[in-house]
Amino acid sequence: MTPRRLVALVLMAGVMVIDGYDLNSMALAMPAIAGEMGLQQTDFAWALSAVLLGLGAGAFLIAPLGDRFGRKPIIVGGALGIAATTAATAFSTDVIHFAFWRLLTGLALGACLANVSALSSEVAPEGKRSTVMAVVSAGIAIGAMMGGFTAPEVIRAWGWQGMFYIPAGIALVLGIGLALVLDRDRPAHAAAGAKVPLVELVRPPLVFPMALFAAAYMTNAIALYMLTSWTVRILPPDVFGPDLPKRLLGLMQGAGLPVSILLAWLLDRWKPGTTLALGYAIIAAAFALLFATPATVLGWTILLMVAGGGIAGIHGALMALSPKLFPSNVLSSAIGAAVAISRIGAIAAPVFGAQLIEYGITANGYFAVLIVPAAVCGLIVLLVPNVIRKTKAHYEGNPPALDPV
């Protein structure tokens, strides 16, 4: 790998770090914002949801343009868009302003996420695509952890506005750096890309791989957001106290990093369907043990690291599976569509979890419910080998159509 490509991968990983940081910045700054404006934190519900809605729209509507016009303009434009809209958020004076700027930030984030993932696969050495994608995507979890760990100090030093100034400044630097480092020309294999990439994904031979990829990604998102949204709430306070659940939530994200990279490494070297199915089997077993055992700090912490770290890690590994399912000239569209569809699960999961809590479900029972999406994902990924074989067979028999990855 050339030094230029290595620098490009580092900068793209930086974009993912900013994605993770920026996605959590509103939630982390919200208590200070609400206190300053004399509002309730619940008044900012739409501002919190706006970035998720924008991310889904950006992934579905803007990200596919990378397959048609090249990834560089979308990535650079997205990074500069993140810088501008995040900086503008710091000047908001009411809830509507916050919701507006967070929506636009989400659009830029969604456009960036899919194209950075796709381009990292193309830049990576042959045989290491899944691993490189997982390492780059790990930046999202790193950014989320950085935001949580540094938020108190940032807010004390620069006010709540600092939570937006910092990612805006870094995104600006990354956008300029990527404009200089990324190649000007589109990759040769993208030159013959589909005129309407999204249309290619809803007709043979890609319709079934797309359905499988989106179903797995959305179902995993349901488990992930059900877990991360309510873990702090459901862990018994008489066992874990008031602060430990918050720390465990951050540790689960951290535990997902090595899981994601390990699974992606195995995807490059072993059987992808078996790799992911075994991962989900371990996750489901951990949730089953959380259901069946009484709450203890040591026992449940270990199980939460396995189950929660596994769910978070496999979310990145699923993204690293995409080059095995789709040709490069529709890769941004496939990832963007899956991310957009997964927003359905991301938005619905916290609501469903809240309903279970209102109905009086115990912590054990809540973890038992999470066995279901883990098991469903395990069944879905068992179909991966057959899908890969059929897709490759189609392209081998029809060479002019698309370039197989």
The per-residue pLDDT for 397 is 55
**What's the pLDDT score for residue 265?**
84
pLDDT computed for residue 396 by the predictor = 66
Q: What is the pLDDT of residue 278?
A: 94
pLDDT at 404: 35
Is 1.20.1250.20 the CATH number for 200-397? yes
pLDDT along the chain (405 residues), means of 10: 86 89 80 86 75 86 86 94 96 92 93 88 78 81 78 88 94 95 61 60 87 93 85 88 77 82 82 90 97 96 93 83 83 85 81 86 96 96 88 62 36
- Region 3-190: CATH code: 1.20.1250.20
Three-class HEC string of 167-204: HHHHHHHHHHHHHHHCCCCCCHHHCCCCCCHHHHCCCC
List all residues 6 or more positions away from 271 whose beta carbon is below 8 Å from its beta carbon: 385
At residue 39, the pLDDT reads: 84
pLDDT of residue 293: 97
Residue 85 token pair: 């809209």
- At residue 205, the pLDDT reads 85
Which pLDDT value is given to residue 84? Answer: 97
User: What CA–CA distance (Å, rounded) separates 239 from 358?
Assistant: 21
Q: What confidence score (pLDDT) does residue 152 get?
A: 81
Q: Count the Cβ atoms, other than its own, within 10 Å of residue 124.
A: 21
**Positive or negative torsion for Cα 48, 50, 51, 53:** positive
pTM tops 0.85, yes or no: no
Tokens for 197? Answer: 């990439």
Closest C-alpha to 83, from 101, 96, 68, 69: 101
CATH 1.20.1250.20 occupies which residues in the chain?
Answer: 3-190, 200-397
Calpha distance 103→267 (Å, rounded): 35
